[in-house]
Structures are given as C-alpha cells and as structure tokens.
Chains A and B, each alone.
Chain A
C-alpha cells in the first residue's frame, strides 16, 4: 500500500479513475433512464474500430476513435430517426459492422499489439500525461454541456412529446446526447476498455436509482459511487495485480448489490394505491 503512492504513474491512474468514473456515471443516469445502453455499446465498438485502424496506419488513436464513434452516432441516429428502423435494430447493424471492421484491421496487422489490447480491456496503469490531458478536456466539455443543458435533458428524458410541445427540439437533444456519449466513451477506453465501458455507465446510475426519488440526487449519488468505485477498483487491481477494468466493474457491481439491499424503494408499498387526493 505504501508503495502505491510512490509512483507518478499511479497518481495519474488515480486522477484518470476519478475523472472517468465521475463522467461516465453522470452520463449514465440519462443512459439508464432513456434505455440507451445498447447504443452506448455500439458507439464503443465504433470507437474501437477507429482505434484499431489508427494503430494499423500509425496515427493518433484517440482522434481516429473520436472520428469513428461520431460517425457511428450519426449513422445510428439517422437510420433510427429518418429511416424506419428502431434504435435497437439500427444500433445492432452498426454494432456488428464495426466489430467486423475492428477484426479486419487487427487481422491486417503484422504483430500482436499490447497497447491496442489495452483499449479493448482497459489498462489504466498505462495512462500517460497526454491521455490525462485529453480526458480532462473531454470531461470538462461534456460536464459543462450537461449542466447547461440540464433542463432540456431532464425534460427529454421524462417525455419527448411533452418536451417537444414545450419548445425543446428533441431530435437535436438526442443527437447532442449521443455525441457527448461518444466523446466520453473514447476518453474512457484506456481506463476501462471498450468491452466494459457500458457497464461503467449503467451500474453506478442503477445503484443510485435504488436510493433516491429525485433526478438531481440520482446524478450526485451516481457520480460519487462511480468515482469511489473506480478508485477502490484501481487500488485493488494494483494490489492483486488484476486488470483494472475488470476490478473496477466488480467493485461497482458490489456497490449495486449493497444499494439494492438497502434500497428504501423495495420496502415501499405505495401510498398511491387509492386515489388519495380525489373528491
């Protein structure tokens, strides 16, 4: 434990865990309420295909990941809004296509690339100063957008038709949210990896959901659980020498179990059985 704090790379990992843990669990609240976790997984696949291509071509992986994930957002979004496909089906198509692309790119590489596999499974201990800068920047932009747009995201998450009738351009909100999701997923790849990033978003939000009846509190609790879980997961991964993505997700899972056990909602029988306010 003492050695833990002696290394600069560990401080960097810790900072990355806190930033990504909070960011993902903030967005995760809306992902859970809108049922967008499969779209999140699809976007992550797209991002990974971009990263794989970047390694093949020898260019910056983050930029290629961003490009691919944003293209993915538009493809998924447009085919579900303009075409006659539901979101699930359109995500499913591009989910498979981008995975196939990633496999193709990996197959074209001459040798096994450890760094690339860090993006698949997460390798938080390999976070560099540049990565951390990139994560901070994205974390700042996404958080700012969520805070400024909070009322619109809230209304959109509650009911799209009512939001639209109140003057919110719900289609724009939808695309904006998916784009913020894409940015955050790309920033998270090195910390948790493409395969686990959706869990990273969904678990803290679902845990928070067990504990509160207010959206604002749900966000605050989710962010706290996400950040704490990531830090504990990181420490555990260092001590027992297991992959960081896996250990963080396991800690988050444990948090979920505890929140469910202590959820006040489970015990609640409902005051609304009869029409209390009726005359």
Chain B
C-alpha cells in the first residue's frame, strides 16, 4: 500500500530577480518520512525550503501541502515549522529560553491574545521534546551553539506542526553538539512521529537519521533511499 502523501512539489521553478535557483523540481513526501536534502553550495536547497514554507512563490509549478496550496491557504502554514540556516541571530540577544520558545506562539496569538496557563504548559512540553526543559529560565546567551539550536527547534515545535523543515541544523557546531542535535531530530522522527525534511552536509546525520535523500543542483539530480545514495557516491 502507498503511504499517505503529505507534501507534493510539482514541476517547481523558482528563484530571485535575474536568477533561477530551482528548475522543474518534482518529488513528493509521505507522512513520517525522514528526508535529507543535499547538494552543492548555491544549489538551491534553502530556496526549496522557502518554497515549501510558502515564503517564496514558485514562478512555475505548485506546492501542495495536505492537498492545499500554501500561497492560497495561509492558515495551513502554522502546520509547518521552519528552522532557517544559521542566520544573523545575535548570540547575546536579551531573552530567557522560555521567551524564545514563546515567540513560536505568534502564529496563534498574534499581537494581542494573551498567553494562558495552557500555553505555558506547551512551552515546557516543547522544551522537553528537545531535552532542554531543565534550563527553561536560563538566559539564551548562556547556552552553547547546540543548545541554542535545540531551543530554536522547540520554538518551531510549539505550534504542533506536522512537518518540520530544518536548514543545516548542525553546521558550525562542535561534534558533541552535532550529536545532540542528531539525537533530538531522531527522537522527533521516531517518537513524535513528525515528518522531517532537513538540509544537511553532515555525513553522520545522513547515515544515522535519513531514510531518503534528495539531491538538488538547481534540478533534482537524485531521489532515493539513503543506502542507494551512499552506494552511488562510493562508486
């Protein structure tokens, strides 16, 4: 039996003014799949995630999430959580861990709805999922790179998403932090039954977590199981 489809990327061409980053990309992702996206720098991996998120409208083709277009149905976006590539976050931003996770409630609360006890409980639960609940009251700036990344993942998880998009979650971290992120993402895939698509260059991550690998170099140049992918790159 075919597994139920969560996401369909159909003939997508997308890019920026004067630059085509993705060309005619086709694939679909089933519920609970663990998909790694690989490819060279500038290959269009981050662009692909932005298109899936509905942050960038494709020039051609469509993206369907639960059979709906995110460009039309913006409410659906709250079902997708997104951790951008190591961005320009100020590592000394004045906030406690709980404040950062609370940001993830914005989609639900908007500017004015107040935070309830139930929301506070969800902050704790989201932190438990990334094993950071014991540090809830710590300042964000006291954390290591890996811990910061896990708190940011908790921020993404608080909206109870169906699909989690991670853009190079372990890049720039030391080995120990990389391992802790790997463990977190494995737990999310296995215990929380989340569908996860992660852009990564990290071989350990690929070997130990990914079931399926997609390679993007403007076009889709590989789509198969991770064992096939490793066989191919060894040939």
Contact with B along A223-238 (1 / 0, CB 8 A): 0000000000000000
> What count of chain B residues pass the 8 Å CB interface test?
47
Instruction: List residues of B (139-159) whose CB comes within 8 Å of A's CBs.
Output: 139-144, 146-147, 150, 152, 155
Residue in B93, B103, B147, B155 whose beta carbon sits within 8 Å of that of A272 in the complex: B147
- Closest residue of B by beta carbon distance from A278: B180
| Chain B positions within 8 Å of A165 at CB level | 53, 55, 77, 82, 84
Instruction: Determine if A151 and B96 form an interchain contact, defined as CB atoms under 8 angstroms apart.
Output: no
Known contacts A162-B84, A213-B94: A274-B111 contact under CB 8 Å: no
Instruction: List residues of B (112-146) whose CB comes within 8 Å of A's CBs.
Output: 112, 131-132, 134-135, 138-144, 146
Instruction: Determine if B142 and A272 form an interchain contact, defined as CB atoms under 8 angstroms apart.
Output: yes
Shortest beta-carbon distance, B73 to chain A, in Å?
13
Q: Is B1 an interface residue when CB atoms closer than 8 A count as contact?
A: no
- The size class of the interface chain A forms with chain B is 35 or more
- Which interface residue of A161, A276, A279 has the most chain B CB atoms within 10 A? A161
Instruction: Determine if B89 and A158 form an interchain contact, defined as CB atoms under 8 angstroms apart.
Output: yes
| Chain A positions within 8 Å of B66 at CB level | none
Instruction: Determine if B96 and A159 form an interchain contact, defined as CB atoms under 8 angstroms apart.
Output: no
| Chain A positions within 8 Å of B90 at CB level | 33, 158
Shortest beta-carbon distance, A275 to chain B, in Å?
5
| Chain B positions within 8 Å of A149 at CB level | 111
Instruction: Determine if B95 and A279 form an interchain contact, defined as CB atoms under 8 angstroms apart.
Output: no
Contact with A along B93-110 (1 / 0, CB 8 A): 111100110011011011
Instruction: Determine if B106 and A214 form an interchain contact, defined as CB atoms under 8 angstroms apart.
Output: no
Contact with B along A248-279 (1 / 0, CB 8 A): 00000000000000000000101111111111
| Chain A positions within 8 Å of B72 at CB level | none
| Chain B positions within 8 Å of A158 at CB level | 89-90, 93, 95, 100, 103
Instruction: Determine if B106 and A213 form an interchain contact, defined as CB atoms under 8 angstroms apart.
Output: no
A residues at B contact (CB < 8 Å): 33, 148-152, 154-155, 157-168, 209, 212-215, 217-218, 268, 270-279
B residues at A contact (CB < 8 Å): 53, 55, 74, 77-78, 82-84, 87-90, 93-96, 99-100, 103-104, 106-107, 109-112, 131-132, 134-135, 138-144, 146-147, 150, 152, 155, 176-177, 179-180, 183
